[in-house]
Amino acid sequence: MSGKTTPMMEQYHALKQQAEGCLLFYRMGDFFELFFDDAKQAASILDIALTARGKDSGDPVPMCGVPVHAAEGYLARLIKAGCRVAIAEQVETPEQAKQRAKREGTPSSKALVKRDIVRFVTAGTLTEEALLEPRRANMLAAVCEVRGSIGIASCDISTGRMVLESCDPGNLHAALARVGASEIITPDDWAGRLEDTISRPKSDFGSDDGERRLKTLHEVKTLDGFGDFDRAMLAAAGGLISYLEHVGRGDLPLLLPPRVRAGESQLSMDEATRASLEILTSQQGGRQGSLIAAIDRCVTGAGARQLADDLSAPLCDMAAISGRLALVHYLHQDPLLRADLRDVLRLLPDIGRALGRVVAGRGSPRDLGQIRDGLAEARRVRDFLSHKPDRPVLLESLLPLMGGHGALVDLMQRALVAAPPTERQNGGFIAEGYDASLDELRQVSGNARRAIAALEARYRDDTGIASLKIKHNGVLGYFIEVPARHADTLMAPDSGFTHRQTMKGAVRFNSLSLHEEAGRISEAGGHALAAEEEHFEMLAAQVVAARQEIAATADALSRIDVSAGQAERAAEGDWCRPQISEDTVLAIVGGRHPVVEAALAQAGDRFVANDCTLVPEDRLWLIGGPNMGGKSTFLRQNALIVLLAQAGGYVPAESAQIGLVDRLFSRVGASDNLARGRSTFMVEMVETAAILSQATDRSFVILDEVGRGTSTYDGLALAWAVVEAVHENNRCRCLFATHYHELSRLADRCDALSLHHVRAREWKGDLVLLHELANGPADRSYGLAVARLAGISKQVVARAKSVLDKLEKGRAKTGGLAAGLGDLPLFAAVQADDDEPGDPVREKLSELDIDALSPREALEILYEIKRAAEST
């Protein structure tokens, strides 16, 4: 390159402006090249060589590149690193560029191939098999606000599933935590309201425009058949569809008719509760150690994604829960049926994602083959289950969805080879016998290839050069190659050969006969490829036309896989079918923590089961005992049992009676959130405040060590007040673990509160943790014994023991930390006095910064306080 900006760099800069901050993959032959800062960033992430290509405006141009055939792997790493990528493809061939240059009067030697951005690759818009996790949905969400209501539109474009919902602004974070989107789109006037979002023009989020787009997309005159959508939902849908059109450069992916997510029909959980219970990811951020990792026995990726959705949004509808449980029970009771069914399900390809790629225009012959094979297997599943007696209602509703594709399956079985390739540009995916004219073209091409082989043999005989070969490449086409030492024989004017290229150690030639045979191969091969491409487009169009029915089949199969997997997990762990009722009761016998139990089993240890019985007259348990004794595990296991039951699965217990829970809250452990300026204690208080303001009498709450993050007096006071508030105001089912022994006094004043503790014993100076729950208060905390277990030195533990003895003697003399608390009125009584006027003198004193006062100011304030006191 020269010191000036070349036409190619001018083209690059123009495309880079359109890339909107994305890395630009600039297609040059068999490579995607990156330049300037894009190259530096990509080279660092991908660990590839950073080079330079000439100069632009006098400066060296940093450059790196990735092969087109391997681009998906590099894209995956860039997307995982948080990048967005714009793909600039060559939209004409070099020959077309030369013809265009000729028409424009430009020298063909200076013809620059046209390029254009054909797609943006972002975290939420992936469809490629290599870029997606098979067992995890990839959600994209759009969020906006209309008249005080938040609209959320979410979809997984790899399967087309789309859900619309609305919520109050205060519930936005909880809703987004449930969706778990890889990418969130917001209007540009929302800057700063949510972290790590993609801003789009506010005009994209119009409710009227959203309604119009949905009607056009699904070719309907009204959306009433899909659900009751409010204006906020429609506005969010408009923003989502507009963004998908943008990243697809006008082409939309698979989007199925939207469904409404009704908040009251699902168990509500806030962001903190989801993180605390480690439902889909552990505290370390991976799947290992999470609830889903411990219970997932699905044999298909689609089933695993459906299970994750079930656990993210458990139900509050009795009929829906009972329907799922009945299907799990049906398969649990028949092990042979379950085993045979799971063997059939294992053969299923991922129909939903293959369909998504075909509809998005990114499908391959292999995707068509997967849809063909998947639909054929779906018919087998339907026929297999249709002959079984006493089928549950949910199964009866699923069976019809797995048939009805006979004509399409038969067509693709005749049209496609048994194992179609992943690439379509080289052909070879249409079965022999499907198209007679295509077979003839292939025969001509095959005969020509045989003729070339015969020609090679004849040339060897004629020239006496045994090492003569006829080869082919993408530049020269077919050519004759001989070692350099034999080149003179073919160079003779009367040899019948024409020199083409001299290589190191070899010389290449052409001949009239070879040219004629190569022409026949090229012509027949070109016509054959064009014919196969036409067949592909026809088959893809048939699939697109049946996309809703195919997607329904995929959903039905995933539901059956989830049910069979739940039944398998229940059989493995001796889990029980929960009894769901409308009562506010939680009665669990022999409950276990599914994740902890699985981890202990791997280590050869046994999990100690415990009962939990919360009823209206005993709905709040205060649980004491030592650290590491199992309090947090007990709290979490009961929350997880509720979640599993309302997701429609069996639970790890001997028996479980569960009154429907509307909201589930977990405040067990906390950490700093420095990004929001919150300490550990502040996080704890924010989460506790959410519980006290939102929990209803149908909620289930687990609270662990409230108040431990501040001073002893403050912490005890807060814990005391929180227990009273839960008991008197929220009146919900609650497990409250604490080290504050003083709280046991509340049992005398709160009629629905009972005392419990996790058992421990000291034996010959060692602490033995029994992990059993017992009635009554804990006798002590065993804190020094736990410290000794943790490796604190004997000297430090001995010193702590002497300090503790003195503290306890002092407390005995003063009546302890809780002295006088028993005389306080209950929380409800205190709350009733909140509106009474306060003491003005005390209020004035509390506002003073004494250290900042001058003597004169202090004297003036003292006179002012005296006057105020005399006037009251």
- The winner for highest mean pLDDT among 18-22, 37-41, 187-191, 515-519 is 37-41
CATH of 296-405+546-573, one of 1.10.1420.10, 2.40.50.140, 1.10.4190.10, 3.40.50.300: 1.10.1420.10
- Is 207 flagged in the annotation as binding? no
The superfamily (CATH) of domain 129-261 is MutS, connector domain (3.30.420.110)
The chain-wide mean pLDDT, for the chain, equals 88
Whether pLDDT at 148 is above 50: yes
What pLDDT does residue 81 have?
92
**From CA 202, how far away is CA 122, in angstroms rounded?**
20
Better-predicted residue by pLDDT, 411 or 846: 411
> For residue 279, which of 290, 267, 271 has the smallest C-alpha distance?
290
pTM as predicted: 0.85
Rounded mean pLDDT, 633-658: 97
Residue owning tokens 């759009």? 142
CATH no. of 579-593+604-782: 3.40.50.300
Ranges of beta strands (E only) in 699-841 are 700-704, 733-737, 753-763, 766-775
Domain boundaries, the chain: 7-121, 129-261, 296-405+546-573, 436-519, 579-593+604-782, 840-871
* Residue percentage of the chain with pLDDT more than 70: 91
Question: Taking a C-beta distance cutoff of 8 angstroms, is the pair 79, 123 a contact?
Answer: yes
**Bridge partners for 59 per DSSP:** 56
- Per-residue pLDDT tens digits for 107-138: 766 778 899 999 999 999 998 888 899 999 99
- Residue 1 — pLDDT band, cuts 50, 70, 90? very low
Work out whether strand 23-28 and strand 51-56 pair parallel, antiparallel, or are unpaired.
unpaired
What pLDDT does residue 765 have?
60
| Amino acid making up residue 354 | A
What pLDDT does residue 103 have?
82
- Is 632 flagged in the annotation as binding? yes
- Per-residue pLDDT tens digits for 503-560: 888 999 999 888 888 888 778 888 888 999 999 999 999 999 999 999 999 999 999 9
Find the DSSP H helices in 313-435. 318-332, 335-345, 351-359, 365-386, 393-398, 406-415
- Is 810 flagged in the annotation as binding? no
Burial of residue 249, with CB atoms counted within 10 A of its CB: 0-12 exposed, 13-18 middle, 19 or more buried: middle
Question: Taking a C-beta distance cutoff of 8 angstroms, is the pair 73, 130 a contact?
Answer: yes
- Residue 825 — pLDDT band, cuts 50, 70, 90? confident
Burial of residue 272, with CB atoms counted within 10 A of its CB: 0-12 exposed, 13-18 middle, 19 or more buried: buried
What pLDDT does residue 740 have?
85
Burial of residue 699, with CB atoms counted within 10 A of its CB: 0-12 exposed, 13-18 middle, 19 or more buried: buried
- Per-residue pLDDT tens digits for 642-653: 999 999 999 999
Largest CA distance in the chain: 132
> For residue 550, which of 325, 363, 312, 314 has the smallest C-alpha distance?
363
Whether pLDDT at 255 is above 90: yes
Rounded mean pLDDT, 42-65: 88
- Is 626 flagged in the annotation as binding? yes
What pLDDT does residue 671 have?
53
Question: Taking a C-beta distance cutoff of 8 angstroms, is the pair 757, 623 a contact?
Answer: yes
Better-predicted residue by pLDDT, 804 or 274: 274
- Is 187 flagged in the annotation as binding? no
**From CA 308, how far away is CA 858, in angstroms rounded?**
65
Residue owning tokens 């469904």? 259
Q: Cα 855 to the chain's mean position, in Å?
A: 64
Residues in the chain: 872
Task: Spell out the SS3 assignment of 381-416.
Answer: HHHHHHCCCCCCHHHHHHHHHHCCCHHHHHHHHHHE
- Residue 781 — pLDDT band, cuts 50, 70, 90? low
Task: Report the run of H or E that residue 812 belongs to, with start and end.
Answer: helix 794-814
| Amino acid making up residue 273 | T
Cα Rg of the chain (Å, integer): 36
Better-predicted residue by pLDDT, 639 or 475: 639
Rounded mean pLDDT, 176-192: 91
User: Would you say the CATH fold of 296-405+546-573 matches that of 7-121?
Assistant: no
- Is 648 flagged in the annotation as binding? no
3-class SS of residue 618: strand
Better-predicted residue by pLDDT, 21 or 662: 662
Whether pLDDT at 329 is above 90: yes
3-class SS of residue 869: helix
Question: Taking a C-beta distance cutoff of 8 angstroms, is the pair 267, 169 a contact?
Answer: no
Q: b/e per residue, 198-223, with b = 16+ CB within 10 A?
A: bebeeebbbbebbbebbeebeeeeeb
**From CA 168, how far away is CA 186, in angstroms rounded?**
16
Find the DSSP H helices in 608-679. 631-646
Whether pLDDT at 871 is above 70: no
Residue 710 per-residue DSSP state: S
Q: b/e per residue, 666-693, with b = 16+ CB within 10 A?
A: bbbbbeeeeeeebeebebbbebbebbee
Torsion of CA 680, 681, 685, 691, to 10 degrees: 50
* Residue percentage of the chain with pLDDT more than 90: 62
Rounded mean pLDDT, 602-622: 95
Question: Taking a C-beta distance cutoff of 8 angstroms, is the pair 82, 88 a contact?
Answer: no
- Residue 196 — pLDDT band, cuts 50, 70, 90? confident
Lowest mean pLDDT among 188-197, 341-350, 405-414, 802-811: 802-811
Ranges of beta strands (E only) in 36-107 are 51-56, 59-67, 85-90
Task: Classify domain 436-519 at the CATH class level.
Answer: mainly alpha
Residue 787 neighbours by CB under 8 Å, 6+ apart: 796, 797, 800
Q: In what order do the strands lie in the sheet with 506-511?
A: 469-473, 477-483, 506-511, 497-503
Residue owning tokens 């030369």? 98
What pLDDT does residue 2 have?
46
3-class SS of residue 727: helix
What pLDDT does residue 673 have?
46
- Is 124 flagged in the annotation as binding? no
**Bridge partners for 86 per DSSP:** 24, 120
What pLDDT does residue 779 have?
67
What pLDDT does residue 675 have?
42
- Is 627 flagged in the annotation as binding? yes
Lowest mean pLDDT among 10-24, 249-263, 692-706, 760-774: 760-774
Rounded mean pLDDT, 366-380: 96
The superfamily (CATH) of domain 7-121 is DNA repair protein MutS, domain I (3.40.1170.10)
Whether pLDDT at 475 is above 80: no
**Geometric angle at alpha carbon 268, from 154 and 170, rounded to 5°:** 75
Task: Report the run of H or E that residue 155 belongs to, with start and end.
Answer: strand 149-156
What pLDDT does residue 679 have?
65
**From CA 16, how far away is CA 85, in angstroms rounded?**
11
Whether pLDDT at 244 is above 70: yes
Question: Taking a C-beta distance cutoff of 8 angstroms, is the pair 187, 201 a contact?
Answer: yes
